Amino acid sequence: MFDKDTVLEAIKDSGGIMSTIAQRLRCNWNTAKKHTEKWEETQQAMKDEKETILDVCESTLINKIKDGDEQSAKWYLSKIGKLRGYGDSLAIEGGIQIVYADKDDERL
């Protein structure tokens, strides 16, 4: 239905948001997804868009931290600063046993 160049143009500056791509292609979400996965170049373009948005998010966060936003700094330390001893921790005392299982585990 769509050629590769048309899909690549729809992906450009979309942030990898499928509904945006579908709107640009004037098709439904599932059709857009099918076409973004159709070619290696469109798959890479989607990955690149998502990486670009991650870079923007990180840059925004770093700028907020540099501006003195304490909540952003705390969040950053809890996620990125773990090797320096920062982070969320959970202390459990007593005879509690924790079992991690996925949804297919019969113990659930």
pLDDT, tens digit, 9 for 90 and up, residues 2-51: 999 999 999 999 999 999 999 999 999 999 999 999 999 999 999 999 99
* DSSP label at residue 97: -
At 71-88, the pLDDT tens digits run: 999 999 998 998 888 877
- Angle at the Cα of 23 (from 11 to 17), degrees rounded to 5? 45
Per-residue confidence at 54, pLDDT binned at 50, 70, 90? very high
Closest CA to 19 of 31, 3, 1: 31
Cα(78)–Cα(95) distance, integer angstroms = 28
Q: Is the whole model's pTM more than 0.75, yes or no?
A: no
